[in-house]
Amino acid sequence: MSENILEIKNLSVEFCTFDGVVKAINGMSFDVPRGKTVGLVGETGAGKTTTALSVMGLVQSPPGVITEGEILFDGEDLLKAGEAKLRKYRGDKISMIFQNPMTSLNPVYTVGRQIANVIMQHQNVNKAEAEKRAGDMLEVVGIPRERTANYPHEFSGGMRQRVCIAMGLACNPSLLIADEPTTALDVTIQAQILNLMKGLKDQYDTSIIFITHALGVVAEIADYVVVAYAGSVIEKGDIKSIFTNPLHPYTRGLFGCLPDIESVESKRLQIIPGAMPDPMNLPPGCKFCKRCGEAMDICRVKEPEEIRVDREHMVKCHKYQGGGKDE
C-alpha cells in the first residue's frame, strides 16, 4: 500500500471559451500522504478549485477538458475510472466541503434527511438506521441530534458549515477536500471549525486537502503545504520547511503580506506587485517573471524545473537551478 492516498501527476486542465482556451491547470503535481492534511495555497486563479473538481470528477465538459495527467487515488487512476465508479466514490471514499454551506445544502429538506440520504446512497442501511447515524454525525460536530428536524435556514453560518462537515464525514471517507471552508465565517467561528476539523481528522484518520488563500489558516491545520501559482505548483514541502525556509520569491512574498504581531515597530505590509498572468496568454518562461524582483534573463524564456531541496521540500525557480547565475 502506497504511503500516499492521492497522487496528482502532471495534471493539465483547459476550458474552451468563445474568447480562446483558458489554461487553468498546467502540469500540477503533488501527493497527499495518508492521514495527513495538505494545505493548498494560492491566490484566486491559481487553479486550486479546478484541481479539487478534477479529483472529484466534476470538471464540467464542455467547456472543461483534462488534457494530460494522472490522479491516482489509492493507486487507481480516477481519470480512467468510469462515471459509475466515480459516483460511487464521491461522498463515500472522497468528500468535498465548499466555501458557502448554503449553496451545498438543499433549503427544502431537513438537515437530518440530507445527511441520511448520503448514508443511504453509499451504505446498505435502512432509513431508520440512516436517520440514527445522521443524528450521531450531528453530535460528532457539536450539534444536538434533535436538530436533525431543522432546515438549513434555521442554522447560523458556522453551524451550517458544521452540518456540511457532518455530511462530508458521514460515510467515513478516506479523503476530504475542504475548499475555503472557513473563508465566509467570522474569525471566532473560523477557529472553532478549524479545531473541529483537526479533531475529526485524528478521530477518523481522514486525509485532507485544505484549500485556502490564507497562510495563517494553513499554519493552524496543515502538515504539508503546496503553493500553487498560475495552475502549477511552485513550491511544496512539510509545514516546518515552508514556514521556516520559504524559497520561492512568490512564497516569500506571501509571507511578506502577513502582519507581524510580535514586532514592536509599525511596518508597512509588503505587497506582491502586479497580477497573475492571463491564463489565455501565459508567458513562455517562469509564470511569476513579471512580478519577480529577482528575475534573470533565463526566467523570461525557460520554464524552471522542480528542484528538490531536501526529502520534503521542492521549489521551481531558476535561482536554485543554475546557482543563481544569469544566462
Binding site for ligand SF4 (CB under 6 A): 248-249, 286, 288-289, 292, 294-296, 299, 304, 317-319
Contact present, 41 and 226 (Cβ < 8 Å): yes
Distance of closest approach, residue 180 Cβ to ligand SF4, in angstroms: 25
Nearer to ligand SF4, 193 or 299 (CB): 299
Report the distance separating Cα 165 and Cα 151, nearest Å: 16
Count other C-beta atoms under 10 Å from residue 97's C-beta.
23
Distance of closest approach, residue 68 Cβ to ligand SF4, in angstroms: 22
Nearer to ligand SF4, 141 or 286 (CB): 286
Distance of closest approach, residue 228 Cβ to ligand SF4, in angstroms: 14
Nearer to ligand SF4, 23 or 287 (CB): 287
Nearer to ligand SF4, 216 or 274 (CB): 274
Nearer to ligand SF4, 173 or 304 (CB): 304
Long-range contacts of 15-24 (CB under 8 A, 24+ apart): 15/63, 15/64, 15/65, 16/62, 16/63, 16/65, 17/63, 19/280, 20/280, 20/281, 21/280, 22/279, 22/280, 23/231, 23/279, 23/280, 23/282, 24/50, 24/64, 24/231, 24/279
Preceding amide of 62 cis, omega within 30: yes
Nearer to ligand SF4, 199 or 274 (CB): 274
Distance of closest approach, residue 309 Cβ to ligand SF4, in angstroms: 14
Q: Which residues on neighbouring strands pair with residue 210, listed in sequence order?
A: 39, 178
Nearer to ligand SF4, 71 or 299 (CB): 299
| Cell numbers describing residue 275 | 497580477
**What CA–CA distances, in Å, run from 210 to 57, 92, 175, 273?**
18, 18, 11, 26
Distance of closest approach, residue 299 Cβ to ligand SF4, in angstroms: 3
Say what the alpha-carbon torsion angle 294, 242, 175, 28 is, to the nearest 10 degrees.
20
Distance of closest approach, residue 295 Cβ to ligand SF4, in angstroms: 4
Distance of closest approach, residue 222 Cβ to ligand SF4, in angstroms: 23
- 3-state SS, residue 325: coil
Nearer to ligand SF4, 35 or 256 (CB): 256
Count other C-beta atoms under 10 Å from residue 186's C-beta.
10
CB-count burial class (<10 Å; 0-12, 13-18, 19+) for 202: exposed
Distance of closest approach, residue 307 Cβ to ligand SF4, in angstroms: 10
DSSP code for 273: -
